[in-house]
Chain A
Amino acid sequence: MTREIAVVAFAQTAHRRTSDELSEVEMLMPVLHEVLERTGLKTADIGFTCSGSSDYLAGRAFSFTLALDGVGAWPPISESHVEMDGAWALYEAWTKLLTGDADTALVYSYGKSSPGPVRDVLTRQLDPYYVAPLWPDPVALAALQAQALIDAGETDEPALAAVAARNRAAASSNSHAQLRGSIPQGDYLVRPLRTGDCPPIGDGAAAVILATGERARELCARPAWIRGIDHRIEAHGLGVRDLTDSPSTRLAAEKAGAFERPVDTAELHAPFTSQEVILRKALRLDDSVTVNPSGGALAAHPIMAAGLIRVGEAAARIHRGESDRALAHATSGPCLQQNLVAVLEGDPR
């Protein structure tokens, strides 16, 4: 029998441009303590722990092992790590719970972008033969995608500015967000993308707790049940893909059951305004769906945590009774290379 698995708690830092007074573990620890306090669990009660981060951000090797100091690994814990956004760590934890090996899981992720030039750092994730030697940064690659979208007649610069304004207006009620309220679109960073079309660079961390069946009901008044979750990837060659579409998102959504019934909320990991246009189309989201009530990645973008935060924000809305069926999306790599979709539901009211 398939086990029911839910997100029962979520916490995140106040995301900031820099947090250089804190080490990674110092930044992460309050978030870990917060999710544990919400559920009343202690580290020793957690069946499985999985984290997501990248050494390239802070420029130090094996940083995730130092971050484990904040978890408290005694008595010995069952632990794993992905060199990816925490949304993929959540996927690993979900499969672990499905196997029956654990009833609860702690998933966390963090990114300190402030020590390094993140636009240059992220070029190191590109194809090392044909692309990385040219150092095209993520803004440049997203700008190519945005121009393709404009050429296809699917958006224009005013429409992109409206996406930015809507997200950051929504972030006004999100105390964790880095950019809130009315922000000027600014100058071109790489045309056609302006500063306002791009995510803020910042440091932050997030954590969620997953639990199965009755355990979830004990730990949370209204668990956010994961009805489906799937992730897909596209050809790595940018020139092979149709940059105006995201077939991997569509397929992941289909496999996660997103199209079976309408969702009322969608938390999309769209670091660039143009990517929200593409994701809305791939996910068939119309104006009846509340998209990014948190402000999304345009309001706060701690790399490696921003995707997990989408799952956490969607779940938190279900916990609060503001949503009954929500979609969460996470992306990784250039131009929406890899995409994860989760469908979350609350018990009927």
Chain B
Amino acid sequence: MPGVLKAPLVVEFPFTRSLGPVQGAFLTGLRERVVLGVRTRDGRTLVPPVEYDPVTAEEIRDLVEVAPTGTVTTWAWNHEPRRGQPLSSPFAWVLVKLDGADTALLHALDVPGPEAVRTGLRVRIRWAEERSGAITDLACFEPYDGEPARPAGHDGEFEDAITGIVAPARLDYTYSPGRAQSAYIGALAGQRTVGERCPKCRKVYVPPRGACPTCGAATHEQVEVGPRGTVTTFCIVNIKAKNLDIEVPYVYAHIALDGADLALHGRIGGIPYDQVRMGLRVEPVWTRGARHPDHYRPTGEPDAHYDSYKELL
């Protein structure tokens, strides 16, 4: 049996998020080197600020400036920073209670080694040189042995407050389609289409996924299907897809390959789009070096009778 396939798979997404009045003020403040907290009705100051009291769920809006200096409440030494983390050289993760705050903020502390960190260490903010209104405007913390800094009493009102952030993310995977689909893709390399037969209902599934979706049984018996097949249903595509070099309109169809009990998808070519019909007999057209048929074209045979494919619609 040929080996199981693997390929790199990158998932990248920029989440655009809107900010409410509290988070917007906090992140705008970071851009202006001002740290804002929010005061609860019982007089606690939460930094970073939230819109609802975590204890009472009451809406809170009372912004108050706190100091850029504070105290480490707990820490962890990160000797091998990972991609995206605040510092590329070894650093300490810290929770810091800023002077004037009652809760702690998570960030990085830049010190040479774990012996330079302890709970209770006094620290201050090191601002990023370029700031855009994000938690990363706070580059990191650094040790500080001076007096607590005095906040200027900012009220949280800004000229051009930011209302949203873009949070990019990227994750790298090594994707493997598993045993059944690897075998399917492997057969395609030899221009053969291979499905798997369910041991219970005897249906042949293509592409196979290793299980019969009707019976829930594992499938193993490989069955070569096609190459010819029957169009069971189709649609006419009139919108040009990005990065796709196909003239519109074109026909996208479900094709039941001979011997298969499940229709697969494919494009129909070699015939005007408005002459494609249910029951049309087709065969795959391969282009050199391709990993799957480029499209299917009419074989010239008479159309299949409806009864022969109605179960596959």
Residues of A within 8 A of B161 (CB): none
- Residues of chain B within 8 A (CB-CB) of A70 are 211, 216
Residues in chain B near residue A148, CB distance under 8 A: 73-74, 119
8 Å CB contact of B178 from A21, A56, A147: A21
Give Cα A236–Cα B48 distance, bound, in whole angstroms: 12
Q: Who on chain A is nearest to B24 by CB?
A: A129
Q: When A147-B75, A148-B73, A151-B74 are in contact, do A69 and B213 touch as well, CB less than 8 Å?
A: yes
Within 8 A of A (CB), among B144-172: 165, 167, 169, 171-172
A160 interface residue per 8 A CB criterion: no
**A191-B173 in contact (CB<8A):** no
**A67: nearest residue on chain B (CB-CB)?**
B211
Tell yes or no: B308 within 8 A of A by CB: no
Q: Knowing A25-B209, A134-B106, A140-B76 are in contact, say whether A115-B82 is a contact too (CB < 8 A).
A: no
Asked whether any CB of chain A lies closer than 8 Å to the CB of B177, the reply is yes
For A72, the chain B residues whose CB sits under 8 A away are 212-217
Given A68-B213, A129-B23, list of 17 further CB < 8 A pairs?
A: A20-B4, A25-B210, A26-B211, A32-B216, A56-B171, A59-B173, A59-B175, A116-B172, A129-B27, A131-B106, A134-B85, A134-B136, A136-B106, A235-B54, A237-B48, A238-B95, A238-B104
Decide: A134 and B173 in contact? CB cutoff 8 A: no
Q: Is A43 located at the chain interface by the 8 A CB criterion?
A: yes
Q: How far is the CA of A25 from the CA of B83 in the complex (A)?
A: 31
Contact A136 B93 (CB under 8 A): yes
Contact with B along A192-211 (1 / 0, CB 8 A): 11000000000000000000
Q: Are B216 and A43 in contact (CB under 8 A)?
A: yes
Within 8 A of A (CB), among B241-284: none
CB contacts under 8 Å to B, within A113-156, are 115-117, 119-121, 123-124, 128-137, 140-141, 143-148, 151
Cβ of B131: which chain A residues have Cβ within 8 Å of it? none
Assuming the contacts A56-B171, A237-B54, asked whether A23 and B180 have C-beta atoms less than 8 A apart, the reply is: yes
A69 lies within 8 A of B77 (CB) = no
Selected contact of B93 from candidates A60, A68, A143, CB within 8 Å: A143
Q: How far is the CB of B77 from chain A (nearest CB, A)?
A: 4
Chosen A-B contacts, 22 in total, with CB atoms closer than 8 Å, are A21-B4, A23-B177, A23-B180, A29-B210, A43-B216, A69-B212, A72-B216, A117-B172, A120-B83, A128-B167, A129-B23, A133-B167, A134-B84, A136-B85, A136-B106, A140-B78, A143-B76, A144-B94, A190-B76, A190-B77, A190-B78, A237-B46
Which residues from A are CB-within-8-Å of B213? 68-69, 72-74
Across-interface contacts of B47 in A (CB, < 8 A) = 239
On chain A, the number of residues with a Cβ less than 8 Å from chain B's Cβ atoms is: 63
Binding site for B on A (CB under 8 A): 20-26, 29-30, 32-33, 43, 56, 58-60, 66, 68-74, 115-117, 119-121, 123-124, 128-137, 140-141, 143-148, 151, 188, 190-193, 235-240, 243
Does B11 sit at the interface, judged by CB under 8 A? Answer: yes
Alpha-carbon distance between A146 and B75 when the two chains are bound, in angstroms: 9
A22 touching B179 by the CB < 8 A rule? Answer: yes
B262 to chain A, nearest CB (A): 12
> B211 and A29: CB pair below 8 A?
yes
- The answer on a CB contact under 8 Å between A71 and B106 is no
Q: How long is the Cα–Cα vector from A144 to B104 in the complex, in angstroms?
A: 12
Q: How far is the CB of B111 from chain A (nearest CB, A)?
A: 13
**Docked CA distance A71–B217 (Å):** 8
- The answer to whether B178 and A121 have CB atoms under 8 Å apart is no
Question: A129 touching B211 by the CB < 8 A rule?
Answer: no
Closest residue of chain A to B86 (Cβ to Cβ) is A134
Q: How far is the CB of B50 from chain A (nearest CB, A)?
A: 6
Q: Across the interface, do B173 and A116 meet the contact criterion of CB distance under 8 Å?
A: yes
Once the chains bind, are A59 and B54 in contact (CB under 8 Å)? Answer: no
Interface residues of B in 115-162 (CB under 8 A from A): 119, 134-136
What separation, in Å, do the CA atoms of A140 and B79 have in the docked complex? 11
A residues in contact with B171, CB < 8 Å: 56, 59, 116-117, 120-121, 124
Q: Which of A30, A120, A130 has the most CB of B within 10 A?
A: A130
Within the assembled complex, what's the spacing in Å between the Cα atoms of A43 and B201? 15
Mark out the residues of chain B between 208 and 231 whose CB falls within 8 Å of any chain A CB in the assembled complex: 209-218
Contact of A69 among B108, B134, B172, B209 (CB under 8 A): B209
Q: B89 an interface residue at 8 Å Cβ cutoff?
A: no
Q: B183 to chain A: closest CB distance in Å?
A: 11
Contact of B103 with A by CB under 8 A: yes
Smallest CB separation, B273 vs chain A (Å): 30
> Which B residue sits closest to A60, measured CB to CB?
B175
**Which of chain B's residues have a CB closer than 8 A to the CB of A24?**
178
Given known contacts A121-B171, A128-B15, A239-B106, is B77 in contact with A26 (CB within 8 Å)?
A: no
